Structure 1
Amino acid sequence: MWKLALIFALSFLPIQPVSIIAGDMPSLLEEAPPYAKWGRVAMQATKEKYPSAAIVDYLHIGREIKNDTVTEKFKLWLRGKEKEFGVYINIQFEEKTDKIIEITFEETDR
Protein backbone atom coordinates (compact mmCIF):
# COMPACT_ATOMS: atom_id res chain seq x y z
CA MET A 1 0.00 0.00 0.00
CA TRP A 2 2.83 2.40 0.81
CA LYS A 3 4.28 1.85 -2.68
CA LEU A 4 1.02 2.99 -4.22
CA ALA A 5 1.02 6.10 -2.01
CA LEU A 6 4.62 6.88 -3.02
CA ILE A 7 3.81 6.55 -6.72
CA PHE A 8 0.77 8.77 -6.27
CA ALA A 9 2.82 11.42 -4.44
CA LEU A 10 5.63 11.36 -7.01
CA SER A 11 3.15 11.77 -9.87
CA PHE A 12 2.54 15.37 -8.75
CA LEU A 13 6.22 16.37 -9.03
CA PRO A 14 6.87 18.63 -11.98
CA ILE A 15 8.90 17.13 -14.81
CA GLN A 16 11.30 19.45 -16.54
CA PRO A 17 12.71 18.59 -19.95
CA VAL A 18 16.48 18.46 -20.20
CA SER A 19 18.17 20.02 -23.17
CA ILE A 20 21.85 19.61 -23.98
CA ILE A 21 23.38 22.30 -26.13
CA ALA A 22 26.91 21.98 -27.53
CA GLY A 23 27.98 25.07 -25.59
CA ASP A 24 27.02 23.36 -22.34
CA MET A 25 29.51 20.53 -22.85
CA PRO A 26 32.90 22.10 -23.63
CA SER A 27 34.92 19.22 -22.21
CA LEU A 28 33.45 16.78 -24.73
CA LEU A 29 33.79 19.03 -27.74
CA GLU A 30 37.15 20.70 -27.16
CA GLU A 31 39.96 20.00 -29.54
CA ALA A 32 42.63 17.55 -28.47
CA PRO A 33 45.68 19.18 -26.86
CA PRO A 34 48.71 19.75 -29.12
CA TYR A 35 50.66 16.91 -27.48
CA ALA A 36 47.93 14.29 -28.08
CA LYS A 37 49.41 13.24 -31.43
CA TRP A 38 52.79 12.70 -29.78
CA GLY A 39 51.18 10.85 -26.89
CA ARG A 40 49.81 8.32 -29.37
CA VAL A 41 53.30 8.02 -30.91
CA ALA A 42 54.79 7.50 -27.43
CA MET A 43 52.28 4.76 -26.60
CA GLN A 44 52.79 2.99 -29.94
CA ALA A 45 56.59 3.11 -29.63
CA THR A 46 56.32 1.80 -26.06
CA LYS A 47 54.08 -1.08 -27.15
CA GLU A 48 56.66 -2.00 -29.78
CA LYS A 49 59.56 -1.84 -27.31
CA TYR A 50 57.71 -3.63 -24.48
CA PRO A 51 55.21 -5.89 -26.27
CA SER A 52 54.41 -8.07 -23.24
CA ALA A 53 53.67 -5.12 -20.91
CA ALA A 54 50.38 -3.25 -20.57
CA ILE A 55 50.31 0.54 -20.36
CA VAL A 56 48.37 1.39 -17.21
CA ASP A 57 49.05 5.11 -16.84
CA TYR A 58 50.02 8.06 -19.02
CA LEU A 59 51.44 11.48 -18.17
CA HIS A 60 52.48 14.34 -20.43
CA ILE A 61 55.41 15.98 -18.66
CA GLY A 62 55.95 18.89 -20.99
CA ARG A 63 57.44 20.33 -24.14
CA GLU A 64 60.93 21.64 -24.72
CA ILE A 65 61.73 23.85 -27.72
CA LYS A 66 65.29 24.34 -28.96
CA ASN A 67 65.98 26.11 -32.23
CA ASP A 68 63.94 24.26 -34.88
CA THR A 69 63.28 21.13 -32.83
CA VAL A 70 60.70 20.25 -30.22
CA THR A 71 60.87 17.49 -27.62
CA GLU A 72 57.63 16.18 -26.15
CA LYS A 73 58.18 14.39 -22.83
CA PHE A 74 55.98 11.65 -21.41
CA LYS A 75 55.99 9.15 -18.60
CA LEU A 76 54.14 5.88 -19.02
CA TRP A 77 53.58 3.30 -16.30
CA LEU A 78 53.76 -0.31 -17.46
CA ARG A 79 52.63 -3.56 -15.91
CA GLY A 80 54.50 -6.63 -17.08
CA LYS A 81 54.21 -10.25 -16.05
CA GLU A 82 56.90 -9.92 -13.40
CA LYS A 83 57.03 -6.21 -12.49
CA GLU A 84 55.59 -2.74 -12.77
CA PHE A 85 57.81 0.11 -13.92
CA GLY A 86 57.81 3.53 -15.45
CA VAL A 87 59.28 4.63 -18.75
CA TYR A 88 60.23 8.19 -19.62
CA ILE A 89 59.82 8.78 -23.35
CA ASN A 90 61.22 11.77 -25.18
CA ILE A 91 60.13 12.36 -28.76
CA GLN A 92 62.31 14.87 -30.58
CA PHE A 93 60.97 16.16 -33.90
CA GLU A 94 61.37 19.01 -36.39
CA GLU A 95 58.96 21.78 -35.50
CA LYS A 96 57.97 22.71 -39.07
CA THR A 97 57.63 19.23 -40.58
CA ASP A 98 56.82 17.03 -37.54
CA LYS A 99 59.53 14.66 -38.79
CA ILE A 100 60.71 12.50 -35.89
CA ILE A 101 64.42 12.84 -35.19
CA GLU A 102 64.73 10.55 -32.17
CA ILE A 103 62.66 8.65 -29.61
CA THR A 104 64.43 7.79 -26.35
CA PHE A 105 63.33 5.54 -23.48
CA GLU A 106 64.51 5.55 -19.87
CA GLU A 107 63.13 3.05 -17.38
CA THR A 108 62.44 4.00 -13.78
CA ASP A 109 61.06 2.20 -10.74
CA ARG A 110 59.16 5.33 -9.63
Structure 2
Amino acid sequence: MALASKLAQLQSKATQASQFVAKHGPLYYKQLLEQNKHYIQEPPTVEKCDLLSKQLFYTRLASVPGRYEAFQKEIDYVKHMWKNRKELKIEDAGIATLFGLECFAWYCAGEIVGRGFTFTGYYV
Protein backbone atom coordinates (compact mmCIF):
# COMPACT_ATOMS: atom_id res chain seq x y z
CA MET A 1 0.00 0.00 0.00
CA ALA A 2 2.75 2.48 0.95
CA LEU A 3 4.61 1.87 -2.31
CA ALA A 4 1.47 2.49 -4.37
CA SER A 5 0.85 5.70 -2.43
CA LYS A 6 4.42 6.90 -3.05
CA LEU A 7 4.10 6.02 -6.73
CA ALA A 8 0.89 8.05 -7.01
CA GLN A 9 2.55 11.02 -5.30
CA LEU A 10 5.55 10.78 -7.61
CA GLN A 11 3.30 10.59 -10.65
CA SER A 12 1.34 13.64 -9.42
CA LYS A 13 4.54 15.66 -8.89
CA ALA A 14 5.86 14.62 -12.31
CA THR A 15 2.61 15.76 -13.90
CA GLN A 16 2.80 19.12 -12.09
CA ALA A 17 6.41 19.60 -13.19
CA SER A 18 5.53 18.71 -16.77
CA GLN A 19 2.68 21.23 -16.78
CA PHE A 20 4.92 23.93 -15.33
CA VAL A 21 7.56 23.33 -18.00
CA ALA A 22 4.94 23.29 -20.76
CA LYS A 23 3.52 26.60 -19.51
CA HIS A 24 6.74 28.49 -18.74
CA GLY A 25 9.33 26.73 -20.93
CA PRO A 26 8.81 28.61 -24.22
CA LEU A 27 8.90 32.00 -22.48
CA TYR A 28 12.10 31.08 -20.64
CA TYR A 29 13.62 29.83 -23.90
CA LYS A 30 12.82 33.10 -25.70
CA GLN A 31 14.20 35.20 -22.83
CA LEU A 32 17.38 33.12 -22.70
CA LEU A 33 17.98 33.55 -26.42
CA GLU A 34 17.22 37.27 -26.26
CA GLN A 35 19.63 37.84 -23.37
CA ASN A 36 22.41 35.91 -25.10
CA LYS A 37 21.83 36.89 -28.73
CA HIS A 38 25.31 38.44 -28.93
CA TYR A 39 26.74 34.90 -28.66
CA ILE A 40 24.60 33.49 -31.47
CA GLN A 41 26.32 33.09 -34.82
CA GLU A 42 24.32 33.89 -37.93
CA PRO A 43 23.31 31.95 -39.88
CA PRO A 44 22.77 29.07 -37.42
CA THR A 45 23.68 26.25 -39.80
CA VAL A 46 25.50 22.97 -39.50
CA GLU A 47 28.36 24.43 -41.54
CA LYS A 48 28.71 27.32 -39.11
CA CYS A 49 28.75 24.91 -36.15
CA ASP A 50 31.40 22.84 -37.91
CA LEU A 51 33.50 25.94 -38.48
CA LEU A 52 33.17 27.00 -34.84
CA SER A 53 34.11 23.56 -33.55
CA LYS A 54 37.24 23.57 -35.74
CA GLN A 55 38.11 27.08 -34.53
CA LEU A 56 37.75 25.95 -30.93
CA PHE A 57 39.88 22.85 -31.51
CA TYR A 58 42.72 24.69 -33.23
CA THR A 59 42.59 27.59 -30.79
CA ARG A 60 43.00 25.14 -27.93
CA LEU A 61 45.77 23.40 -29.84
CA ALA A 62 47.53 26.75 -30.32
CA SER A 63 47.37 27.37 -26.56
CA VAL A 64 49.41 24.22 -25.78
CA PRO A 65 52.85 25.95 -25.98
CA GLY A 66 51.75 28.62 -23.50
CA ARG A 67 50.39 25.99 -21.15
CA TYR A 68 53.60 23.95 -21.53
CA GLU A 69 55.63 27.05 -20.68
CA ALA A 70 53.54 27.69 -17.56
CA PHE A 71 53.94 24.02 -16.57
CA GLN A 72 57.73 24.31 -16.97
CA LYS A 73 57.72 27.38 -14.69
CA GLU A 74 55.83 25.38 -12.07
CA ILE A 75 58.33 22.52 -12.37
CA ASP A 76 61.23 24.97 -12.01
CA TYR A 77 59.58 26.43 -8.90
CA VAL A 78 59.23 22.94 -7.36
CA LYS A 79 62.86 22.16 -8.22
CA HIS A 80 63.94 25.42 -6.58
CA MET A 81 61.89 24.63 -3.49
CA TRP A 82 63.41 21.14 -3.34
CA LYS A 83 66.97 22.52 -3.59
CA ASN A 84 66.24 24.95 -0.78
CA ARG A 85 64.24 22.56 1.35
CA LYS A 86 66.33 23.42 4.40
CA GLU A 87 64.78 26.91 4.31
CA LEU A 88 61.25 25.53 3.93
CA LYS A 89 58.81 26.75 6.55
CA ILE A 90 56.42 24.44 8.41
CA GLU A 91 53.46 26.28 6.85
CA ASP A 92 54.72 25.59 3.32
CA ALA A 93 55.34 21.94 4.13
CA GLY A 94 51.86 21.65 5.64
CA ILE A 95 50.23 23.20 2.58
CA ALA A 96 52.16 20.86 0.29
CA THR A 97 51.14 17.87 2.41
CA LEU A 98 47.48 18.91 2.40
CA PHE A 99 47.61 19.39 -1.37
CA GLY A 100 49.07 15.90 -1.79
CA LEU A 101 46.40 14.41 0.45
CA GLU A 102 43.68 16.22 -1.48
CA CYS A 103 45.03 14.86 -4.78
CA PHE A 104 45.09 11.36 -3.32
CA ALA A 105 41.52 11.74 -2.00
CA TRP A 106 40.26 12.88 -5.43
CA TYR A 107 42.07 9.92 -6.98
CA CYS A 108 40.36 7.53 -4.55
CA ALA A 109 36.98 9.15 -5.15
CA GLY A 110 37.48 8.82 -8.90
CA GLU A 111 38.34 5.17 -8.53
CA ILE A 112 35.22 4.54 -6.46
CA VAL A 113 33.03 6.36 -8.98
CA GLY A 114 34.69 4.49 -11.84
CA ARG A 115 33.82 1.18 -10.21
CA GLY A 116 30.17 2.13 -9.89
CA PHE A 117 30.30 3.40 -6.30
CA THR A 118 31.53 0.10 -4.88
CA PHE A 119 34.38 -0.16 -2.43
CA THR A 120 35.45 -3.65 -3.42
CA GLY A 121 35.31 -3.30 -7.17
CA TYR A 122 32.76 -6.08 -7.54
CA TYR A 123 29.07 -5.70 -8.24
CA VAL A 124 27.13 -7.30 -5.45
| Alignment TM-score, normalising by the size of structure 2 | 0.24
**Which has more radius of gyration?**
2
Higher helix content, 1 or 2: 2
| Alignment TM-score, normalising by the size of structure 1 | 0.26
Higher strand content, 1 or 2: 1
| Higher RCO (CA < 8 A, seq sep 6+) | 1
